[in-house]
Structure formats: C-alpha cells, structure tokens
C-alpha cells in the first residue's frame, strides 16, 4: 500500500500548495499543455483565497502540516522574491522562525536516551526551547565543564521526524518515477537520481554527530577567514539526536531592520556572505548547503556566524576548476571560454557546436551585465536557462545539485540585504584570485606532483590489478561458451515484479487524476 499512500500524500500536497498560492506564485507564463492548465487552476484558487485575512499564518501552517521536506522547499522559495514575488516570499519567511516547538519533557527524554546520562548531570541548567525548525529545535542551557563552558545551544531532533521524512520521500520518488515514465523530455533532468541525492542528504542531516563533524571541519577551514565563523562543538554533550554548541550572540540575518538599527553595513554583509561561500566552495571544496537567513547570525563586530550545518556539499578538484572557469568567464564576459569549459567537463554532448552554445550562453549572460539587480527578472532568466539546457541536451548533474541550490539561496539572501547587489562584481576578487593561483604556473607544479603520486599508487596496485584482469577474462570466456542463464523461479519473480509495478503505477495516476478533478471542481 506504500505506493497508494505516496499517491495520496502527493495529491494532498499539490492541493494545499495550489490552494495557498505557492504554485501560482511560480513563473508559469512559458509553460504549455497540462502544466499550464494546472498553473492556471492554482492561480484561480489563490485568487479566491486572497481576500481572507491571516494568509501568512495560514500558509506557514499549511506547509508545516505537509511535512519537514515541504518546509525546506518553502524556506528556499522565501529567499527568492525575484521569482515568487515579495508578498509570497514574506509569507514563506515565517517558516524560518515560527515553527511549532515540542514539549521540554520530550526533549529531555531524547537527550538522556541519546547521551546515556541524566540531563541534570550533563547541564547546570536546561531551559525551554528558544527556536524551532523543521527537523530540530534549540534549547538554551548552561554547562560548567567541557571545551565550551558557559551558555550553550542544545539542538535536539524532533520526535518522529525521520518517519515523516521517509513518507515525504516516498511521495517524491513516486512523482520522479511517473515523470520519467510519462514525460520523456524530463528524463535528461534525472528526477529519480535527484530524489536519491535528496534522500542521502536527508539521512545525513538526521545524524547530529555528522553535523558536529562538519562544523569542526568548517571551523578549521575558516579559522583565518575575515568576517565568517561557525560555533564550537561540545563533543561531550553531542550524540545522534543531540548537538551542543557554543551560544551565538547575534542578530538573525532575516532581521534586516535590526541589522540596520545596530549599525551594520548591509552592503558589506552581502559581499562578505557571497565571498565566504565562494571561498569554501573553491578553496576547500566543502560548503554549508543550507544558508537561508534563519541559519545566519551577525555578531556585534559584523562577523557572520553560520549554524545548522546538517546539509553540506563537497566538490572535487576537477569540478572546482570547471566551475571557477565558468564563473570567471561570465564575470569577464568570455562566453566562448564558458562554452568550451562546458564541453570539456562533459556537461554538453560533443555532437553540438561550441560556437552555437557560446551564442546561447551570451543570451543568458548579457542581460545580467550593466543592469542593477532590481531590473533583472530572475524568473525570465531561469526560464531562458532551462530552454538553453534543453536545446543542447544538457543532463542534470545530481552531484552539483546542492551547489546550484545553495548558490541561488545565498544570492537571494544577499539581495535581501542589498537590493542592488551585483553578484558578478562581488565574486570577482575571490574567483579571479583562485583562477590565478590554481590555473597558472603554480597549478602546473601541483598537477605534476599529484600525477606522480597517482602513478606511484597505480604501480603499487599493478599485481592485484593484473590478477583481477586474469579472473575477469576467464569468467568472460566461460560466459561466451555457456551463455548467461537464470532459472524458471527467477523468471517468474521478474514477471510478478513487473506486473505489480505496472498495477500500482496505474493506480497512482488515477489517484492524482481524481485529485486534479477535485481541484478543478472546487474552483468552478
């Protein structure tokens, strides 16, 4: 029954998001066919509900009821007023600060179960919750021992949140499979692989020991960086469901009026945020991948302190080089080089023409240059980018999804601080410096050293590789002589599995279709 349950949850989510205006706020003028019809229905629903009072609270409540993964989606959209509109972004911003808390008694039970000690022995004082998010909530506490004495923040996983996320993911996998099966043009976007990436990051986010390790690593990487830091971890009071951190005294980056009243330079904060993220991405290949305003604080001296490091991203050296060259090419308007890097990285199939792709890239890049941020329609820009990637058969790269999502969110946060923020101008010092250090003569020496080490490692493995190759050759020879066979029982099992998949897939489609009919009937 899991497929039927996932179908019902998916239909319910679509209905609630359409009713509260979330779907209507997304750019849909360029859609066609069934997606265009669904978008128009959602606009009609939203218009009917718009006259009622308390839309902000109603929207936050509706998204919160859908589950923690939908809250994450709402937080992402809240950082893009240029895509969903200022009113919708303001409404969704409530998801960052106004999530419901769970009782202190449940938090105490979770702490004691995870750490194996009474809460009175662990903390001098353990207070009520002071903040709540989709996955966990934070309590203020005090300790007198350990590496972080004094006031601390204790993050505790919500009871039952793992099961809720698993249910959400079942719905996402169903939608992804249906999309791949019935919408061939979407297969290049690899929706199933994208959902698998989401599932993996979610599993890691649910283990607070991994978040503690990420905080420790990022702290080491950024110890000498100007204007950015992360809180210290109290390892003695950290477990799978509990994370104890240094308390951060600062103003949330979502509180624009508070930042201005405290005398902070908002334009400088925007630039520092972008440049810090680019340093982490390019220099370290390790970055905070959930940098919405609710996770960023500004301390009295203007330092940005980032918390909630449950989702992180990593990039290999080769990927960092490609991305740096692409970013720098956009900055200096060298669209030919941007196109060439896309081909070198394998992002665009070699059957296409580099010059034609460079022309398409120019159509994306030129509207950005020479304009203030307020005049750029990000929705139209995203639509154009999607059309270009489809025209040139560009496949989605699941390993780059977190980076792409985080770049969009960070730029959105910077724009809330400085509406005239220029992403390319702010990026140039970091990206240009990295290019000079890593793609010049110095980089050739490093590459030569890495190549020599790789050859040495390969030479050490040569006997084992030779033995494996010999075994594989014998197995292939045997397969050629005897053929590849499986017994009758295996054949029957494959047939039953295929029939069951087809039956549930059809049932899921009927459930979704009935939900859409219900939506249309309510609108009428």
Q: What is the pLDDT of residue 523?
A: 38
In a domain? residue 477: no
Q: What is the pLDDT of residue 318?
A: 87
Shared domain for 406 and 258, answered yes or no, is yes
Q: Average per-residue pLDDT in the chain?
A: 78
Q: What is the pLDDT of residue 251?
A: 96
Q: What is the pLDDT of residue 2?
A: 63
Q: What confidence tier does 519 reach under pLDDT thresholds 50, 70, 90?
A: very low
Question: What would the two tokens of residue 470 be?
Answer: 């010999």
> Are 138 and 155 in contact, with CB atoms under 8 Å apart?
yes
What's the average model confidence in pLDDT over 176-189?
76
Residue 316 to residue 324: CA distance in whole angstroms: 12
Q: What is the pLDDT of residue 241?
A: 96
Of 147, 9, 21, 79, nearest in space to 293 by CA: 79
State the catalytic residues: 290
Whether the pLDDT of residue 61 is over 50: the answer is yes
Question: Taking phi first (over 0 means left), then psi (-120 to 50 degrees means alpha), and beta for anything else, what does residue 244 get?
Answer: beta
In a domain? residue 459: no
202-213 residue pLDDT tens: 788 889 999 999
Shared domain for 60 and 131, answered yes or no, is no
In a domain? residue 239: yes
> What is the DSSP pairing of strand 304-306 with strand 228-229?
parallel
Shared domain for 130 and 234, answered yes or no, is yes
Of 212, 138, 169, nearest in space to 68 by CA: 169
105-123 residue pLDDT tens: 999 999 999 999 999 999 9
Of 239, 251, 254, 161, nearest in space to 207 by CA: 239
DSSP class of 60:
H
Q: What is the pLDDT of residue 195?
A: 79
- β partners of residue 372: none
List the Cα angle 271/373/295 in 5-degree steps: 45
415-465 residue pLDDT tens: 889 988 887 788 888 988 888 888 765 554 555 556 666 666 666 777 776
Of the residues 226, 247, 268, the one at which a domain ends: 247
Of the residues 439, 473, 493, the one at which a domain ends: 439
Residue 12 to residue 519: CA distance in whole angstroms: 10
In a domain? residue 458: no
In a domain? residue 474: no
Write out the residue range of the structural domain in which residue 68 sits. Answer: 2-97
Q: What confidence tier does 524 reach under pLDDT thresholds 50, 70, 90?
A: very low
SS3 251: strand
In a domain? residue 414: yes
Shared domain for 240 and 296, answered yes or no, is no
Question: Is 233 buried (19+), middle (13-18) or exposed (0-12) by CB count in 10 A?
Answer: buried
Whether the pLDDT of residue 249 is over 80: the answer is yes
The contacts of residue 385 (CB under 8 Å, 6+ apart) are 364
Of the residues 422, 439, 456, the one at which a domain ends: 439
Kindly list the distances between the CA atom of residue 65 and the CA atoms of 68, 133, 170, 495, in Å, as whole numbers in the listed order.
Answer: 8, 13, 17, 39
Shared domain for 206 and 324, answered yes or no, is no
Shared domain for 187 and 306, answered yes or no, is no
Residue 76 to residue 137: CA distance in whole angstroms: 19
Shared domain for 363 and 425, answered yes or no, is yes
Shared domain for 352 and 406, answered yes or no, is yes
- Between 198 and 57, name the one with better pLDDT: 198
Q: What is the pLDDT of residue 231?
A: 96
Q: Total structural domains in the chain?
A: 3
- β partners of residue 288: 312
For the beta carbon of residue 254, count every other beta carbon within 10 angstroms: 20
- In terms of average pLDDT, the best of 132-141, 177-186, 483-492 is 132-141
Shared domain for 228 and 355, answered yes or no, is no
Shared domain for 58 and 134, answered yes or no, is no
Q: What is the pLDDT of residue 44?
A: 76
- In terms of average pLDDT, the best of 220-229, 375-384, 451-460 is 220-229
Q: What confidence tier does 514 reach under pLDDT thresholds 50, 70, 90?
A: very low
What's the average model confidence in pLDDT over 473-490?
64
Q: What is the pLDDT of residue 521?
A: 41
Global confidence as pTM: 0.70
279-331 residue pLDDT tens: 999 999 999 988 888 899 999 999 999 999 988 889 888 888 888 888 888 87
283-292, 309-318, 363-372, 494-503: least confident range: 494-503
Shared domain for 263 and 384, answered yes or no, is yes
In a domain? residue 319: yes
In a domain? residue 493: no
Q: What is the percent of the chain with per-residue pLDDT over 70, rounded to a whole number?
A: 69
Shared domain for 82 and 131, answered yes or no, is no
Residue 401 to residue 403: CA distance in whole angstroms: 5
Residue 431 to residue 404: CA distance in whole angstroms: 16
């Amino acid at each position: 029954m899991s497929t039927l349950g996932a179908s019902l949850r998916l239909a319910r989510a679509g209905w609630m998001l359409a009713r509260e205006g979330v779907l209507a706020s997304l750019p849909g003028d360029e859609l066609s066919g069934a997606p265009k019809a669904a978008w128009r229905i959602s606009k009609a629903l939203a218009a009917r509900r718009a006259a009622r009072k308390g839309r902000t609270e109603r929207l936050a409540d509706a998204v919160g009821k859908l589950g923690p993964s939908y809250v994450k989606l709402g937080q992402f959209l809240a950082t893009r007023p240029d895509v969903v509109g200022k009113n919708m972004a303001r409404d969704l911003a409530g998801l960052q600060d106004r999530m419901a808390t769970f009782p202190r008694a449940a938090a105490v039970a979770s702490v004691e179960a995870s750490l194996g000690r009474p809460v009175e022995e662990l903390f001098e004082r353990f207070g009520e919750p002071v903040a709540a998010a989709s996955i966990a909530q934070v309590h203020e506490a005090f300790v007198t021992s350990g590496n972080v004495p004094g006031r601390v923040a204790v993050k505790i996983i919500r009871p039952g949140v793992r099961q809720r996320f698993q249910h959400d993911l079942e719905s996402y996998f169903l939608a992804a499979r249906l999309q791949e099966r019935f919408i061939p043009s979407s297969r290049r976007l690899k929706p199933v692989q994208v959902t698998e990436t989401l599932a993996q990051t979610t599993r890691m986010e649910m283990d607070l020991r991994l978040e503690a390790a990420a905080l420790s690593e990022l702290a080491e990487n950024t110890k000498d960086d100007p204007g950015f830091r992360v809180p210290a971890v109290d390892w003695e009071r950290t477990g799978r469901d509990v994370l104890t951190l240094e308390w951060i005294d600062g103003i949330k980056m979502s509180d624009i009026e508070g930042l201005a009243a405290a005398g902070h330079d908002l334009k400088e904060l925007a630039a520092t945020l972008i440049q810090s993220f680019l340093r982490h991405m390019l220099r370290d290949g390790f970055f905070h991948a959930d940098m919405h305003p609710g996770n960023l604080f500004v301390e009295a001296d203007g330092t940005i302190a980032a918390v909630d490091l449950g989702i992180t991203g990593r990039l290999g050296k080769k990927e960092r080089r490609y991305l740096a060259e692409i970013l720098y090419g956009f900055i200096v308007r060298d669209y030919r080089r941007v196109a060439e890097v896309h081909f070198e990285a394998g992002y665009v199939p070699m059957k296409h023409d580099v010059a034609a792709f460079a022309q398409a890239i120019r159509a994306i890049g030129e509207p950005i240059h020479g304009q203030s941020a307020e005049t750029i329609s990000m929705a139209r820009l995203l639509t154009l980018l999607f059309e270009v990637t489809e025209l040139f058969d560009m496949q989605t790269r699941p390993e780059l999804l977190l980076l792409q999502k985080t770049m969009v969110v960070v730029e959105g946060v910077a724009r809330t601080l400085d509406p005239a923020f220029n992403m390319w101008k702010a990026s140039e010092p970091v990206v240009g410096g990295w290019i000079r250090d890593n793609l010049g003569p110095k980089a050739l020496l490093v590459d030569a050293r890495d190549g020599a080490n790789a050859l040495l490692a390969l030479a050490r493995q040569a006997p084992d590789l030779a033995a494996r190759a010999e075994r594989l050759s014998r197995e292939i020879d045997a397969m050629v002589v005897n053929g590849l066979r499986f017994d009758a029982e295996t054949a029957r099992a494959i047939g039953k599995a295929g029939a069951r998949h087809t039956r549930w897939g059809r049932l899921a489609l009927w459930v979704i279709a009935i939900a859409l009919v219900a939506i249309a009937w309510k609108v009428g």
